Each structure stands twice: as structure tokens, then as C-alpha cells.
Copies of this chain bind each other. A is one copy, B any other.
Amino acid sequence: MENIKAYVQEHKDRFINELVELLKIPSVSADTAYSHDVFETADAVKASLEKAGCDFVEICETPGYPIVYGEKIIDKSLPTVLVYGHYDVQPPDPMELWTSPPFEPVIKKTEIHPEGAIFARGSCDDKGQMYMHVKALEYMVQSNTLPCNVKFMIEGEEEIGSKSLSWFVERNQEKLKNDVILISDTGMISNQQPSITTGLRGLSYVEVEVTGPNRDLHSGLYGGAVANPINALAKMIASLHDENNHITIPGFYDNVVELSLEERAEMAKAPFNLDNYKKALDLNDVYGESGYVTNERNSIRPTLDVNGIWGGYTGEGAKTVIASKAFAKISMRLVPNQDWEEITELFTKHFTSLAPAGVTVKVKPHHGGQGYVTPIDSIGYKAANMAYTETFGVPAIPVRSGGSIPIVALFEKELKSKTILMGFGLDSDAIHSPNEHFGIFNYLKGIETIPLFYKYFVELSK
């Protein structure tokens, strides 16, 4: 497929400019202040699919943000690939840490991206990776090399739990019928070493509220005599891990699958340099569950992290106050066989029981999703590996990722088909962080690799 290389070279400036336009729309699904922009982004995605060559595209209303559905059916007897992606993005804050505004994309060269990377919220997660598929379709239509049917399902609530997506999938099983689901919303090891994500962690995300006195109090007149909600919250959070950094919630580990030493040895083969890892994050040391190494702690082991905490006086200077309330957002990453709803219940029961005298505790579940493991002997996996091998010159390594794409488990349950996670991002892309970026190399390489997946998937399906 030399033509795709040439096509990408010929059109790369337009490909970049089109993505830049999409990145300018601040489609932050977590904050209703951006609601209008999220809808506008859906319209832009619809237009791009029509332009790329879909026969039919529609904006599907849901209880939440709409899902953009598009398809090109060339022959009902041929296989069908369902492409999933999301057009919503994470909130950009902390704004002050961005070196350029999150919704004013700029291309900057970095050590890892000598050809330049697009800096903008959503550049990698997931607008950039989603748009690779739109441009890959454009090529296959233009060059008349689309070997099968293709469907697109691009949602706008991935960053807030994909609630409307499950609602939509459950109601459109026939429309979404497919032979394989293709998603680019993960990363690879490096630009020299592609990898395919074969496992994902599940997620349970909750918000807790600790209430003490019915009003803020003067810490001099009341300090020591009433429970301080912030101190209480800190104590409760601290007790969620023991001295070995095991999570102390009763029953939390009951369904966790322990990997065999062989499997762990296989994992250990993936290239990893602890010193570089620490250096990249300016860490004096790593930290985590006893008995596991870094690459296990962030992939095959469940974890609990506070994602946000606030209470009392946080302004300039000093205020001697005992706050009435303290809050925290807490998320747990789960591994296959841990049911996120059960874990959410276990957390709620346990955390509420931790409340000391003088405070009351509320736990509000936000959202969650199941973990997932995909077999590496499937046609889909093989086709993806062949595509990577051809464009990168080396085969892809299967890796377990610590991230969560809850809907992958949903797809398997509702649509009965396997998902292939063809990620082209890098850990250093700073997704969910200030200065998120996506390499030009990665973006174009993705557009170049995806048509090969279609080719080999259809060949292997014969």
C-alpha cells in the first residue's frame, strides 16, 4: 500500500489543519458551562464523516450528549468494522500550567516529537486519534480500496462515564452489528516500538462529603472541642491503605485475578527504564503496593487515588477557621473480574463506617466501568499486529494498560464482538494534564496504519 504513504504526504497539511479546527472547540463534557461547545463538536464530526465518504451520517439524540453515527456499507456479505471514538475532552484546568491556551492549538517540536506535536486539550485523547479513522476512511474511499463495510460511533460523554452510550448501544444492537470494533484511545510504547493494549482497568469514581458543625467555626474558640471535617476526612482517606499500600476496603480484592509468574515474566519483557520513568516525572522514588513492580502496579493491580480534595479556607493568607464541610473525589482503578458497581458499594459501606464521632459522611457515586482483557489470537489482533508491523517495521507488543475504557466491556456484552485497541499516543502526551499534545508523526502514522488493518482483517476473515 505505497499509495497511502503518498496520499498522506500530499494531504498532511490539510489533515493537520482539519484536526486543529476540531480542537478549537472546547467540548468539555464534565462542565455544563461548555455544553454548547459539545453539541457544536458533534456537528463538526458529522460534517467530517460526510466529507470523508460515509453514505449515511446522523446525530443521534440521547438522554445526554448526542452520538454521531455514520456508515458506508459496500456489501452486506462483507465484514463490518465498527469504529468507536469520543469527541468530548477532559476539563483543561489547572489552566495556569498550560504553556499555550488549551483550545488554541499550536504545533511545537519536542525531544520525543522532532517533527512537531499539536498542543491542545483533546489532541491525543481522543479527537486526534478519532480523526485518524476519518482520514483513513477518506483515503480508502478516494483510492477505492475500502475492502469492507465500516460504521462510526463517536460519542460525547466518554470523559464522564459514557452513560448515554450504554443507553444507545442497548437500543441499537442491529444498527451497530459488526465483526470487530476498532478504537484508538490508548497509547503505544514508543514511536519505534508499537504496542497493542490487550487489557484495561475498570473504574469506580465517587465523591465524598464530610460534614461536621453546621457552620464554619473559629478555630480558637472551637479548636480541639469539635471534630474537624478536614482532619476527619484526612484520617479516613489515610486509612484506606495499609502500610504495604494494600487497599483496606473489606472484600476489595476478593475477585482480583492474580497473574501467574509466567504471565508476569512475559509482561516484564516490555521495555521499561525505571530511572527514565522517575526522571521524566522528577520523582525521588516510585511508590506503590508491596510485592509488585511499577508496570504491574499501574496495570494488573487495582488502585485507589484521591483525584481532588477541598475544604475550609484556600485563599491567600491565613484564616483560622474550622470548616463545616470537607470534600474529596476518589477513584478506584479495577482489574478484570472486579465488578465496579459491587466495588462502589463496598467502598460506600466501608467509608461511611469510618466516620468518627462528630461528623457525618455522604458518598455519591459518579460513574464506573468494568475492566477488560482481549485475546491475542483473534483475527482482529492479528490484523492489527500485521498493520503495525508493516508501517513500523517491527511487530507490536501486547500490553496491559492501567487506563479505563469502560465501554469496551459493554460492547462485548451488548454487541458480542471483540474490541481492538490500536493506540498511537504516547505516555508523554500528557492526556488529562496541562499541555496535552499529539505527535504529527503519530497522527500521520495512524492514518497510514489503519487502512492496513482493514486490508488484513478482511483477508484473514476469508
Contacts and interface: CB of A to CB of B under 8 A. Distances in A.
Interface stretch (A55-63, A250-258, A303-311, A450-458): A303-311
A149 B311 CA distance: 47
A285 B433 contact: no
A460 interface: no
Contacts of A228: 305-306
A401 interface: yes
B326 A309 contact: yes
Query: Chain copies in the assembly?
Result: 2
A228 B288 CA distance: 10
A432 B222 CA distance: 12
A443 to B, nearest CB: 19
A90 interface: yes
A288 B220 contact: no
A329 interface: yes
A94 B309 contact: no
A298 B224 contact: yes
A374 B213 CA distance: 31
A319 B308 contact: yes
A303 B227 CA distance: 12
Contacts of A288: 224-226
Interface of A: 29-32, 90-91, 93-94, 97, 159-161, 187, 201, 203, 205, 207, 212-228, 230-231, 233-235, 237-239, 241, 281-289, 294-295, 297-298, 301-303, 305-323, 326-329, 331, 333, 356-360, 366-367, 401-404, 427, 430-435
A313 B318 contact: no
B214 A282 contact: yes
A187 B222 CA distance: 13
Nearest to A310: B314
Contact of A213 (B283, B432, B434): B283
A446 B94 CA distance: 49
A318 B358 contact: no
Contacts of A224: 288-289, 297-298, 301-303, 305, 333, 402
